[in-house]
Amino acid sequence: MSQTLNLNLNAAIGLSQDVSPFLSADWPAPANVKTLISTRKGGVSEEKAFAAMNVGMHVGDKPELVAHNRAIVAKQTGVPVAYLNQTHSADVVRACDSLTEPLDADASVDDSGLAACAVMTADCLPVLFCDNAGTVVGAAHAGWRGLAGGVLQNTISAMGVPASEIMAYFGPAIGPDAFEVGQDVYDAFCRPLPQAEAAFEPIGAGKYLADIYALARLLLRREGVTQIYGGTRCTVLERDSFFSYRRDGQTGRMVSMVWLADEAV
* Number of domains within the chain: 1
**Alpha carbon distance 166, 223 (integer Å):** 10
Q: CA torsion 40→43→136→164, rounded to 10°?
A: -10
Residue 239 domain-assigned? yes
pLDDT at position 20, please? 83
Residue 68 domain-assigned? yes
Chain centroid to CA 151: 13
Contact 112, 97 (CB under 8 A): no
pLDDT at position 11, please? 40
Residue pLDDT tens, the chain, 265 long? 333 333 343 344 333 344 689 999 999 999 999 999 999 999 999 999 999 999 999 999 999 999 999 999 999 999 999 999 999 999 999 999 999 999 999 999 999 999 999 999 999 999 999 999 999 999 999 999 999 999 999 999 999 999 999 999 999 999 999 999 999 999 999 999 999 999 999 999 999 999 999 999 999 999 999 999 999 999 999 999 999 999 999 999 999 999 999 865 5
pLDDT at position 9, please? 35
Residue 121's identity, in one-letter code, is: T
CATH number at residue 144: 3.60.140.10
Residue 212 domain-assigned? no
pLDDT at position 188, please? 98
Domain housing 48: 22-173+225-260
Residue 249 domain-assigned? yes
Residue 126 domain-assigned? yes
**Alpha carbon distance 90, 82 (integer Å):** 17
**Alpha carbon distance 112, 95 (integer Å):** 9
Report the chain's terminal Cα–Cα distance, integer Å: 30
Residue 188 domain-assigned? no
Residue 39's identity, in one-letter code, is: T
* DSSP strands (E only) in 62-115: 81-82, 92-94, 107-110
Residue 75 domain-assigned? yes
Residue 213 domain-assigned? no
* pTM of structure: 0.92
pLDDT at position 195, please? 97
* DSSP strands (E only) in the chain: 22-23, 33-38, 81-82, 92-94, 107-110, 116-121, 125-131, 137-142, 166-170, 180-181, 200-204, 207-210, 227-230, 254-260
